[in-house]
């Protein structure tokens, strides 16, 4: 295995690519008693359309990736989740718009549990009876999300911002869409995306890197295959599809989610754009920002306010969300402040302080084996090295933030989703 030294961070990571195409990263932490393993595929909620083995394009129902995550724990011998838990580890999984990951952590039985993880994820076993039963469970989960005002505000924002890109849909799908999922659908999608060449295994802790590679080579297929070709829809225009969306729900004060539709990063530039986007969020929306303090003093924001940057293949956006008695005014003030900062410049002292704080937070996150493995996997799928972030931070200057504010924070790229109290309906 190749030994990668990150002297600025005091980290050592081992990397190799198996003959079947699987990339493996092992972050060795000799002083840690806990071990963590993360096995992920570049397949998520946005991957609805792909080319089959016969060359024809296939359209699948919304929510298949999430549904598949639920059912992958089923094996012919029982439930892998229960088996691993009984073996002393805490297993789980998640599905995002662009990735599905399975993981466990614990202090014992690492090699046995790693074999189990690799086996149940790579060898599918579904029955139509179990799929039918799962539809009811996931439908209930979807309804709960639809009843959550914050979730509803967020997904309505995505629908407003994006016209063609499948990121506009819920990762879990809808009650209607998952009703069309069959065992054959799951086998078809598993075969298309759960291929070693489309997956990554990341592990961390006091473990032997070569043993991780040996176990993976022992358990997984030797066949080298890459993922099916996907189609994320027609190219998006820079402008949002809808500038304002509003609905009423039983809330006491209006909720809002404000989105800025950005330009997707070129491959290999995603980490840099993410760090820049997060810094711009801090400049505008953090408690250190003049805008936040001004709106807070005016009673237009409260402590529920927050922001983040998000991206995926073919999409990138900034989000600010919270509660306000006048969300439309908050939107107008955000655009006005962004234009001012782009023209007059970001205060250098504020920029330096926020940049230093952001860097420190990323260094502290390395203490989490889980965070580190997931970040390594996401960066790998984007063709990047996550642990190069110290050098990336050094390359980001105040002028880059001002340029992003100038280019992205314009009315045409801005969408606002409001959840208003029911009594305000007109």
Residue 51: CB atoms within 10 A of its CB come to 14
Residue 4: CB atoms within 10 A of its CB come to 14
pLDDT value at residue 299:
95
pLDDT value at residue 305:
96
Catalytic residue among 56, 69, 344, 378: 69
Domains of the chain, with CATH numbers?
2-219 (3.30.830.10), 244-424 (3.30.830.10)
DSSP E strand boundaries for 193-286: 199-205, 244-249, 255-261
pLDDT value at residue 426:
41
Rounded Cα gap, residues 415 and 17, in angstroms: 42
CA 266 vs CA 159, 179, 314, 392: distances in Å: 23, 36, 9, 15
pLDDT value at residue 79:
87
pLDDT digits (tens, 9 = 90+) for 15-48: 999 999 999 999 999 999 999 999 999 999 999 9
pLDDT value at residue 398:
97
Rounded to 5 degrees, φ, ψ at 14 are: -105, 140
The model's pTM is 0.94
Residues of the chain with pLDDT under 50: 424-426
Rounded to 5 degrees, φ, ψ at 63 are: 100, 0
pLDDT value at residue 425:
45
Rounded Cα gap, residues 399 and 75, in angstroms: 54
Q: Check if the beta carbon of residue 260 is closer than 8 Å to that of residue 411.
A: no
pLDDT value at residue 27:
97
For the question of residue 422 being annotated catalytic, the response is no
CA 231 vs CA 66, 200, 312: distances in Å: 18, 22, 13
Rounded Cα gap, residues 286 and 279, in angstroms: 10
pLDDT value at residue 78:
82
């Amino acid at each position: 295995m190749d030994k990668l030294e990150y002297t600025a961070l005091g980290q050592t990571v081992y990397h190799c690519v198996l003959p079947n195409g699987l990339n493996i990263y092992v972050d060795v932490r000799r002083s840690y008693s806990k071990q963590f393993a993360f096995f992920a595929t570049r397949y998520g909620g946005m991957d609805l359309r792909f080319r089959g083995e016969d060359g024809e394009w296939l359209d699948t129902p919304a929510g298949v990736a999430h549904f598949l995550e639920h059912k992958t724990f089923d094996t012919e011998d029982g439930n892998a989740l229960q088996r691993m838990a009984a073996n002393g580890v805490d297993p789980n999984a998640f599905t995002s718009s662009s990735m599905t990951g399975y993981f466990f952590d614990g202090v014992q039985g690492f090699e046995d549990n790693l074999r189990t993880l690799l086996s149940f994820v790579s060898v599918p076993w579904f029955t139509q009876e179990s799929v039918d039963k799962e539809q009811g469970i996931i439908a209930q989960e979807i309804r709960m999300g639809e009843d959550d005002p914050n979730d509803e505000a967020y997904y309505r924002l995505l629908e407003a911002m994006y016209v063609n890109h499948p990121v506009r849909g819920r990762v879990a799908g809808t009650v209607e869409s998952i009703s069309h999922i069959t065992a054959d659908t799951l086998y078809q999608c598993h075969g298309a995306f759960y291929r070693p060449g489309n997956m990554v295994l990341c592990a961390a802790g006091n473990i032997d890197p070569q043993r991780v590679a040996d176990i993976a080579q022992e358990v997984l297929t030797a066949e080298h295959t890459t993922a099916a070709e996907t189609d994320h829809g027609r190219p998006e225009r820079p402008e949002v599809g809808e500038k304002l969306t509003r609905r009423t729900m039983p809330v006491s004060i209006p909720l809002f989610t404000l989105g800025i539709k950005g330009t997707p990063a070129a491959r290999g530039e995603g980490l840099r754009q993410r760090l820049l986007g997060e810094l711009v969020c801090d400049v505008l929306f953090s408690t250190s920002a003049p805008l936040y303090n001004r709106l807070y003093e005016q009673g237009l924001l409260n402590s529920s306010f927050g922001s983040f940057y998000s991206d995926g293949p073919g999409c990138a956006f900034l989000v600010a969300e919270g509660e306000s008695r006048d969300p439309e005014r908050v939107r107008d003030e955000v655009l006005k402040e962004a234009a001012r900062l782009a023209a007059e410049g970001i205060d250098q002292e504020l920029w330096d302080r926020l940049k230093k704080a952001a860097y420190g937070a990323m260094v502290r996150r390395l203490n989490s084996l889980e965070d580190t493995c997931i970040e390594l996997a996401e960066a790998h799928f984007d063709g990047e090295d996550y642990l190069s972030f110290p050098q990336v931070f050094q390359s980001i200057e105040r002028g880059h933030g001002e340029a992003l504010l100038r280019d992205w924070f314009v009315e045409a790229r801005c969408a606002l989703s409001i959840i208003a109290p029911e009594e305000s309906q007109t």
